[in-house]
């Protein structure tokens, strides 16, 4: 109930910001937007789901036979819904592991696949940021935008270095964390259980990384295609509104806005993503155009995920949980 309330508040803030920015002109700009472009962007998102499900089955390796293409597509859509509906996307890995477990895949293996998926995402954004940075050297860029671009690149590099450090020294970190938990008077059985789970996860991640290089490369290529399509939504939206903005700048605006949304810990970054994108877009294309672009962009990349993934989440996650609760209540 509390999460649902947070989601309603976040969506109300997300709607209010474009309304305040665009004013009376907002609805006129939205009515003028070409319908074929809107439908095309929805088709792009559906293609992204298909790409993600293919990537998941690639990373699962031999265990992909437990999850058919259609079921994997539903799993991806439900996971994306959980990502958008929970603070900081915290529900996504739990949903992903819970659904794969029902197909006979151990949570450690599912967690390793999810982690590998996130590493691929970080690698893509690092490569994309380097490309945008090279593009920025040939074009005028304000000091503020340049600082945001460099700081984003530094954060991604730090995240990748941190992942590498944990992979290289995970046993030492596990030992240190065990000592710290012992000082905090955590029970020995609990410490042992978490240590066993961590070692199992690291072994599964290493096994995922030992897959054929061609398969890993294909998974990364699919990652690049997925994010290139998804991050083209704002660019196409601006074209439909008659505004001129390079793809590199639209990519940077989306990345910074979604990063701000992540740090806000609001469901889907609602409110924070709109506020950040409005602050970045308005000086470039004008207030009314920025407001209309933000509304369309968020409809396609946020609300559509909630509307399309919500029913699947309820069927795949909510319904089995409800049945379990009913069985418990019927037991004497």
Q: Is residue 174 part of a domain?
A: no
| pTM for the structure as a whole | 0.83
Q: Which residue has the higher pLDDT, 272 or 165?
A: 272
Residue 291 domain-assigned?
yes
Q: How many domains does the chain have?
A: 1
Residue 180 vs residue 213, higher pLDDT: 213
DSSP secondary structure, 65-89, as one string: GGS-HHHHHHHHHHHHHHHHHSBTT
SS3 state of residue 267: strand
Q: Do residues 81 and 109 touch, judged by C-beta distance below 8 A? A: no
CB contact at 8 A, 84 and 42:
no
**Secondary structure letter of residue 232 according to DSSP:** T
Residue 153 falls within a domain, yes or no?
no
Model pLDDT for residues 196-249, shown as the tens digit of each residue:
666 666 777 778 788 888 999 999 999 999 999 999 999 999 999 988 888 888
Tokens of 35: 């319908």
Q: Which domain holds residue 77?
A: 2-121+211-330
Q: Is residue 91 part of a domain?
A: yes
Mean pLDDT on 278-302: 88
Radius of gyration of the chain (CA): 22
Q: Which residues pair with 87 in a beta bridge?
A: 267
219 is a domain residue: yes
Confidence check: pLDDT of 119 > 70: yes
Buried b (16+ CB within 10 A) or exposed e, 183-221: eeeeeeeebeeebeebebbbebbeebeebeeeebeebbe
In a domain, 225, yes or no: yes
> What does DSSP assign to residue 211?
S
Q: Is 308 helix (H, G, I), strand (E, B) or coil?
A: helix
CA distance 167 to 229: 31
Q: Which residue has the tokens 């509304």?
A: 295
pLDDT at 168: 63
Residue 329 has a pLDDT of 45
pLDDT at 330 (0 to 100): 47
């Amino acid at each position: 109930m509390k999460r649902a309330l947070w989601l309603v508040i976040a969506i109300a803030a997300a709607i209010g910001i474009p309304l305040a920015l665009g004013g009376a002109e907002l609805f006129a700009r939205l009515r003028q937007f070409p319908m074929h472009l809107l439908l095309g962007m929805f088709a792009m998102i559906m293609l992204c789901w298909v790409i993600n499900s293919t990537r998941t089955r690639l990373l699962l390796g031999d265990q992909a036979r437990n999850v058919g293409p259609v079921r994997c597509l539903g799993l991806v859509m439900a996971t994306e819904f959980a990502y958008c509906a929970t603070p900081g996307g915290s529900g996504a890995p739990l949903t992903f592991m819970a659904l794969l477990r029902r197909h006979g895949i151990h949570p450690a293996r599912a967690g390793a696949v999810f982690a590998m998926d996130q590493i691929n995402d970080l690698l893509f954004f690092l490569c994309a940021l380097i490309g945008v940075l090279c593009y920025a050297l040939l074009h005028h860029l304000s000091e503020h935008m340049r600082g945001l671009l460099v700081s984003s690149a530094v954060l991604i590099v730090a995240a990748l270095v941190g992942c590498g450090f944990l992979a290289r020294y995970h046993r030492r970190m596990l030992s240190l964390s065990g000592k710290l938990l012992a000082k905090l008077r955590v029970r020995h059985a609990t410490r042992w259980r978490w240590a066993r789970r961590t070692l199992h996860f690291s072994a599964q991640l290493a096994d995922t990384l030992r897959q054929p290089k061609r398969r890993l490369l294909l998974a990364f290529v699919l990652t690049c295609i997925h994010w290139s399509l998804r991050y083209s939504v704002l660019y196409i939206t601006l074209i439909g509104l008659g505004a001129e903005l390079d793809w590199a700048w639209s990519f940077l605006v989306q990345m910074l806005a979604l990063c701000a949304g992540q740090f806000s810990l609001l469901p889907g970054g609602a409110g924070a993503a709109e506020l950040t994108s409005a602050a970045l877009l308005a000086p470039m294309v004008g207030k009314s155009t920025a407001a209309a672009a933000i509304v369309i962009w968020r409809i396609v990349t946020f609300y559509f995920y909630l509307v399309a993934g919500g029913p699947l989440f309820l069927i795949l996650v909510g319904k089995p949980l409800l049945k379990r609760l009913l069985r418990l209540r019927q037991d004497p």
